[in-house]
């Protein structure tokens, strides 16, 4: 029999604080940064100075998740990042262009590779185990989760896998999103995102890490039931695709108690979510989160984090609610995300 996979540790660094979830921070910019924890609690000051925000957020967030489960050395470190170490990439690229390829310092090049975050976490822990980084746009964290699930299912040995997603802002490259219609053309208030009927979205950064294990414990947040990634889905087929996924996981749509949607206020692509809201999941609580933390490639980490908290506490924060439906019980949550109509992902969780 297929062993069960549990989420035993979670952590989040985002543009919102985890303490004041009913009273979210309002931003009036289409690009807003994540709130930094006190990195010194997690990283030695000497090392800290050289690190970009992605590395700092990644190491800190991974340590919170590891500490929560008292895991010293995980059996695997699997990272997702859509855009990698963008700050160092940008720095090296600018120097290269400005200095006409002469007298370049290697520091930012060394830290620019997409696997720097996963590598630095391994280095920091002294962890020689399996280590992979996925970089598939908005399915980066999901690819990492799928690999983590495989890691746990392909052996009978009890394992704990550290899996997470990180993306950072950078001064120029993030701004380029304004040029190709990824961002809204004028600054909006993030909390008004659902009122918008315009193209583009708002963006931010963050890090979310999780400990997945085949062992349930007192701290377990949720059971990780399954995940699916599909690169493209025809708009009219979204309900059918979700049903295929649910069937594979032996559950029907009526048994889903809440759906966590990646709606981002982009009126060119939010129809994927609206189709589900008006059809398959019409009568159940529909939740959104990108008005709080923006949209970026690994933002679904915030969705997974929130779903874990909802399942453990049995309570849905009102700030996430997109409709007035209340759940009879909170046993199964489905998370659905896509970006620009591509890299669709579904994650199914259930209460433990």
Residues that bind another protein (CB under 8 A): 77, 82-84, 86, 89, 92-94, 96-97, 100-102, 104-106, 109-116, 118-120, 122-123, 125-137, 139-140, 143, 146-147, 150, 153-154, 172-173, 176-177, 179-180, 182, 229-233, 297, 342-343
According to DSSP, residue 254 is labeled G
What minimum distance in Å lies between the beta carbon of 240 and another protein? 12
201 near 182, Cβ under 8 Å? yes
Select 153 or 191, whichever has its Cβ closest to another protein: 153
Please give the Cα distance from 34 to 167 (Å, whole number): 10
Can you tell me the distance from the alpha carbon of 246 to that of 68, in angstroms, rounded to the nearest whole number? 31
Residue 201's nearest CA partner among 75, 113, 293 is 293
Closest CB 3 distance from another protein, rounded Å: 13
Q: How far is the CB of 161 from another protein (least distance, A)?
A: 13
Q: What is the DSSP letter of 17?
A: -
- Smaller CB separation from another protein, 18 or 239: 239
**Cβ proximity to another protein, 41 vs 101, nearer residue:** 101
Smallest gap, in angstroms, from Cβ of residue 134 to another protein? 6
Under 8 Å between Cβ of 123 and 44: no
In the chain, alpha helices (H): 45-50, 53-68, 86-98, 107-110, 116-125, 140-153, 238-248, 271-278, 290-293, 300-313
For the CA atoms of 246, 247, 250, 252, the dihedral, rounded to the nearest 10 degrees, stands at: 60
Would you give the DSSP letter of residue 19? T
Q: Closer to another protein at the Cβ: 209 or 221?
A: 209
- 88 or 257: CB nearest another protein: 88
Our measurement of the distance from residue 86's CA atom to the centroid of its chain's CA atoms, rounded to an integer in Å, reads 17
Q: How far is the CB of 221 from another protein (least distance, A)?
A: 24
Q: Which residues contact 179 (CB under 8 A, 6 or more apart)?
A: none
Q: For the CB of residue 86, give the shortest distance to another protein in the complex, in Å.
A: 8
- The distance of closest approach from Cβ of residue 261 to another protein in the complex, given in angstroms and rounded to an integer, is 21
Nearest to 331 by CA among 290, 271, 285: 285
- Give the residue with the Cβ less far from another protein, 49 or 128: 128
How many residues does this entry show for the chain?
352
CB of 168 to another protein, least distance (A): 13
Q: Which is nearer to another protein, 105 or 325 (by Cβ)?
A: 105
Closest CA to 62 of 219, 224, 205, 210: 210
For another protein, the closer of residues 248 and 282 by Cβ is 248
Eight-state DSSP code of residue 30: S
Q: Work out the angle between the directed axes of helices 238-248 and 271-278 (0-180°, nearest 10).
A: 70
Which residue lies nearer to another protein by CB, 112 or 277? 112
Closest distance to another protein from the beta carbon of 49 (Å): 15
Using alpha carbons, select from 62, 17, 41 the residue that is nearest to residue 207.
62
Q: Is 345 helix (H, G, I), strand (E, B) or coil?
A: strand
């Amino acid at each position: 029999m297929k062993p069960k996979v549990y989420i035993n540790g979670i952590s989040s660094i985002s543009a919102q604080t985890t303490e004041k979830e009913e009273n979210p921070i309002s931003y009036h910019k289409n690009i807003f940064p994540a709130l930094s924890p006190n990195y010194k609690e997690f990283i030695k000051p000497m090392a800290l100075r050289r690190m970009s925000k992605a590395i700092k957020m990644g190491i800190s967030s991974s340590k919170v998740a590891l500490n929560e489960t008292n895991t010293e050395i995980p059996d695997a470190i699997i990272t997702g990042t859509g855009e990698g170490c963008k700050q160092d990439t940008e720095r090296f690229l600018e120097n290269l262009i400005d200095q006409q390829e002469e007298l370049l310092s290697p520091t930012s090049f060394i830290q620019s590779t997409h696997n720097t975050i996963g590598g630095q976490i391994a280095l920091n822990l002294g962890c020689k185990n399996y280590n992979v980084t996925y970089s598939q746009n908005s399915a980066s964290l999901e690819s990492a989760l799928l690999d983590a699930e495989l890691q746990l299912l392909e052996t009978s040995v009890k394992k704990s896998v550290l899996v997470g997603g990180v993306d950072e802002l950078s001064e120029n490259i993030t701004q380029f999103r304004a040029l190709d219609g990824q961002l809204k053309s004028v600054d909006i208030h993030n909390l008004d995102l659902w009122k918008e009927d315009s193209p583009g979205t708002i963006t931010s950064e963050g890090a979310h890490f999780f400990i997945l294990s085949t062992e349930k414990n007192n701290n377990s947040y949720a059971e990780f039931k399954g995940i699916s990634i599909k690169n493209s889905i025809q708009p009219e087929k979204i309900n059918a695709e979700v049903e295929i996924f649910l069937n594979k996981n032996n559950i029907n749509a009526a048994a889903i108690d809440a759906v966590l949607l990646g709606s981002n206020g982009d009126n060119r692509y939010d129809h994927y979510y609206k189709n589900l809201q008006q059809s398959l999941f019409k009568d159940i609580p529909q939740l959104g989160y990108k008005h709080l933390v923006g949209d970026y490639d690994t933002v679904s980490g915030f969705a997974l984090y929130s779903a874990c908290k909802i399942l453990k506490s049995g309570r849905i924060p009102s700030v996430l609610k997109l409709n007035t439906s209340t759940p009879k019980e909170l046993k199964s949550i489905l998370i659905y995300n896509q970006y620009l109509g591509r890299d669709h992902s579904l994650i199914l969780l259930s209460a433990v």
